[in-house]
Amino acid sequence: MGCIMTLEKHIRFAAVLLLLVCMSCRVMAQADTSKNQFGTYYFDGNDVVFEFDLRIYEKAVHGRDSVRVDFSDLDIVDVAVSGNFNDWSGEGWHMQRVNEWLYRLRKNLKDFSDAPNWQFKFVINGEQWTSPKSADLKKGGILGWNNIKNPNVPAPVPVDSGNVLFRLRGFAESQRVILAGTFNNWDEEALAMKRTGDGWELQLILPPGIYEYKFIADGQWMEDPDNPEKRVNQFNTFNSVLRVTKPVRFELEGFETAQEVILTGSFNNWDKKKVKMHRTESGWATEVPLTGGKHLYKFIVDGQWMTDPASPRVETDLKGNVNSVLFVR
């Protein structure tokens, strides 16, 4: 009788243990649902957690000469996250090594820009750019492994008075045309275009920024044939590029005796002649259309380069140059 009771206790204990294990697995599975399909990032409350797992990568591309390198040939010293939220610099976004395979970085949402979507890549040793294996890329579809939707910015919806008009000429035989891009995390259903007399069109309200997009005509993805600006994507095809700008006024007080003042910056490839400022009652001024995000700039007063004395925000580049910083929202 005692043996039977002991056996019954063991069975009950095993059943309880199995139940706890199943509950634990369920909790773990629920915790992982916030990760994207590639496991390269996930949300944890108000934080974005980036994860770089060596096992899902085969090749890296050298940033200067585009030479592809096998991961097995790399001596990895540093891994950083570089994206449109940090001007693709990676500075201050270095990852910590967790184990033999995994690197991790946690960043609060306030460290990111106000763009509706963020794009990023992992940078190895400050030189090599990476993307997951081709097979893993195909599993994720067009969404890509390196796109993050800003949870604080709602996806754009079609409006009749938007600041951006998308137009696809022709395709009269198509039954349905969809607009998808970085502004809606490449959603393949949300933005159906309207048929017009000579094609298809759709208006959206988009904040200043640089966006990538494509049209989907009856299930076939295509770039904008009327837009010459495009970028190669992870599938070795092209995305069309849209730049939404807003006018930004630059002012330099004083310098009444100066003969010429030039505005130069990262937005015009530091051109020394293109943007000439005009005289005002209190100094010099000009207006420039800029996309959203971070811009570096300086004034050139009669050939002498200087930062903006009215702006305390500066940044030193890799060559030791100190530049003024402007964020456009």
| The amino acid at 105 | L
| CATH number, domain 164-227, options 1.10.10.10, 3.40.50.300, 3.30.1360.70, 2.60.40.10 | 2.60.40.10
The fourth-level CATH superfamily of domain 246-328 is: Immunoglobulins (2.60.40.10)
pLDDT single digits (tens) 175-228: 999 999 988 888 899 999 999 999 999 999 998 888 999 999 999 999 999 999
Q: Are 48 and 148 in contact (CB under 8 A)?
A: yes
89-93, 123-127, 190-194, 236-240: which range is least confident on average? 89-93
Q: Are 84 and 293 in contact (CB under 8 A)?
A: yes
Q: Are 112 and 105 in contact (CB under 8 A)?
A: no
With a cut of 90, say whether residue 276 has pLDDT above it.
yes
pLDDT single digits (tens) 129-187: 776 655 444 333 344 567 787 887 777 888 888 899 999 999 999 999 999 998 888 88
* Fold topology of 41-149: Immunoglobulin-like (2.60.40)
Supply the pLDDT for residue 135.
40
pLDDT single digits (tens) 55-112: 877 767 665 555 777 777 778 889 999 887 887 776 779 999 999 889 999 999 988 8
pLDDT confidence tier of residue 30, bands split at 50, 70 and 90? very low
Where exactly are the structural domains of the chain? 41-149, 164-227, 246-328
pLDDT confidence tier of residue 235, bands split at 50, 70 and 90? confident
Supply the pLDDT for residue 83.
84
Of 120-124, 136-140, 257-261, highest mean pLDDT: 257-261
Residues facing 217 on adjacent strands: 177, 220
- Percent of the chain past pLDDT 70, that is, above it, reads 81
pLDDT confidence tier of residue 29, bands split at 50, 70 and 90? very low
Q: Which of 138, 124, 118 is nearest to 73 (CA)?
A: 124
With a cut of 60, say whether residue 291 has pLDDT above it.
yes
Mapping DSSP onto H, E and C, the string for the chain reads CHHHHHHHHHHHHHHHHHHHHHHHHHHHHHHHCCECCCCCEEEECCEEEEEEEHHHEEEEEECCCCCEEEHHHCCCCCEEEEECCCCCCCCCCECEECCCCEEEEEEEHHHCCCCCEEEEEEEECCCEEEEECHHHHHHCHHHCCCEEECCCCCCCCCCCCCCEEEEEECCCCCCCEEEEEHHHCCCCCCEECEEECCEEEEEECCCCEEEEEEEEECCEEECCCCCCCEEECCCCCEEEEEEEEEEEEEEEECCCCCCCEEEEEHHHCCCCCCEECEECCCEEEEEEEEECEEEEEEEEECCEEECCCCCCCEEECCCCCEEEEEEEC
Average pLDDT, the chain: 82
Which pTM value belongs to this model? 0.62
